[in-house]
Amino acid sequence: MSEDVLRVENVAKRFGPVTALHDVNLHLGKGEVLGLLGDNGAGKSTLIKIISGFQKPDSGKLFVKGDETELRSVDHARSLGIDCVYQDLALVNQLDVVQNMFLRREQVHRPIPFLARKRMREQTREALDEIGVNVPRLGVPVARLSGGQRQAIAVARTVHSDADIILLDEPLAAMGAKEGAMILDVVARLRAEGKVSIIMIAHNYVHVLESCDRVNLIQDGEITFDKPTGETSVEELNEIVVEEYRRARARAAG
Ligand SMILES: Nc1ncnc2c1ncn2[C@@H]1O[C@H](COP(=O)(O)OP(=O)(O)OP(=O)(O)O)[C@@H](O)[C@H]1O
């Protein structure tokens, strides 16, 4: 891979008595797809929220495209090309599919002329077709759609944005097998094009090994494993996780 588009150095984050991230170091190359694996509560979402400007770290540094950057907000991160599909999707239930697709653009906050609305519908349809997910009625509030369809809209919105650093927090979480495969196809296409860099949180080792260039494992708020996917296996990843589980049980037993 060429230069890093993102570097996280010694990042720590606490929530009261809970240390979510101890001392995290991570890097993402241009055009690279990095899989981030880790148990529940390991710190994956906190890390992604820090990289997307949603939360601030207590300490540590973030470099975006070579420049040390203190992200002030999600909008600030977006202005630098970083966009995230959060686990809870960040769709607005009462708004319809088209309005959600354009949520972060100012049209939604003003009356929309008929022609602009028509263009927005066309672009929404195009973005969803690109993902390959069928959402027949674009005018319904997204609250009435399935979890998989909602997830697809959130992913389509990010892929169709100007972002060149895309963070996917468990993009397959609410999906059936067919919809999940479509999202993995989109990741595969973006990976082949090499224009965007992606961090994908996932629980399925096989998905990560097949869809990513490199894999990081986060355990108890620290990156404990970093290898190209071609140099590791489900067995090796399993072994590390089981070993950590044994250690945690031994610690708990005193
Ligand atoms: N806003 C918060 N307030 C208090 N504690 C938090 C907050 N956000 C995260 N935590 C705690 O920080 C730790 C890491 O949480 P995080 O959500 O980053 O884990 P995760 O690896 O994404 O887990 P999961 O796979 O279950 O989503 C957990 O112990 C969690 O309870």
pLDDT tens digits, 107-133: 444 555 666 778 888 888 888 888 777
Cα–ligand 1 centroid distance for 234 (angstroms) = 25
Return d(Cα 23, Cα 9) in angstroms, integer.
Answer: 8
Cβ–ligand 1 contact at 42 (below 6 Å) = yes
The answer to whether residue 219 scores a pLDDT higher than 80 is: yes
Question: pLDDT category, 173, cuts 50, 70, 90?
Answer: confident
- Packing angle between helix 177-193 and helix 147-159, nearest 10 degrees? 10
Give the pLDDT score at 108: 46
211 CB less than 6 Å from ligand 1? no
User: Torsion-angle region of residue 186: left (phi > 0), alpha (psi -120 to 50) or beta?
Assistant: alpha
Burial (CB < 10 A; 0-12, 13-18, 19+), residue 139, is exposed
How many domains does the structure of the chain reveal?
Answer: 1
Query: Which position has the higher pLDDT, 88 or 68?
Result: 68
Q: Distance (Å, rounded) from C-alpha 77 to C-alpha 189?
A: 24
Per the prediction, the chain carries an average pLDDT of: 86
* pTM for the structure as a whole: 0.87
Q: Provide the token pair at 105.
A: 């653009």
CA 153 vs CA 48, 90, 124, 167, 197: distances in Å: 20, 10, 9, 15, 20
Convert the pLDDT of each residue in 66-84 to its tens digit. 999 999 898 899 999 999 8
ipTM: 0.96
Residue 103: the pLDDT is 79
Is residue 43 in contact with ligand 1, taking CB distance under 6 Å?
yes
Domain CATH number, residue 42: 3.40.50.300
Range of the domain at 148: 4-252
Residue 10 contacts residue 24 (beta carbons within 8 Å): yes
Identify the residue whose tokens are 């203190």: 70
> 51 with 199: CB under 8 angstroms?
yes
